[in-house]
Amino acid sequence: MGLIIAFSAIAVVNTLAMSTTDRSRELALLRLVGATRRQVLRMLRLETLTALIVSVFAGTGITLVTLSAFGRGMTGSALSYIPPAGYALVIAAVAALALVATSLPARLALRARPAEAVGARQ
């Protein structure tokens, strides 16, 4: 189970880092039209948190449906017990991972001068 979680974490971090890095030209364009670094980073954090909230609700819903079907077949009851502390810990770990995987590449992308980053070919 730990290996599956580790591979999933690597895939999520890799995807978020690549998508943020690929947007470096867009981020530079935002800087050219007047956005500050702080505003761009805040926008990226809000995007990440929005994706996280949607993912948590979708993942929880899918998991509850799957667990209720499994529970009904195994015990006759559709109610599953999910430890609240464990659930909160998983969400907190995923949120921290997602925010770090977005913030670090964004900070690196924002280091370049906006005019040079917009003019660079990708």
Domain count of the fold of the chain:
1
Q: How many CB atoms lie within 10 A of CB 25?
A: 16
Q: Is residue 3 one of the residues assigned to a domain?
A: no
3-state helix, strand, coil in the chain (%, to 5): 85, 0, 15
Q: Is residue 6 one of the residues assigned to a domain?
A: no
Quick one: pLDDT at residue 45? 93
Quick one: pLDDT at residue 62? 93
Q: Is residue 33 one of the residues assigned to a domain?
A: yes
Q: Is residue 7 one of the residues assigned to a domain?
A: no
Which structural domain, as residue segments, surrounds residue 97?
Answer: 12-119
pLDDT along the chain (122 residues), means of 10: 85 89 88 92 94 94 88 82 90 92 90 77 59
Quick one: pLDDT at residue 80? 79
Whether 109 and 27 have beta carbons less than 8 Å apart is answered as yes
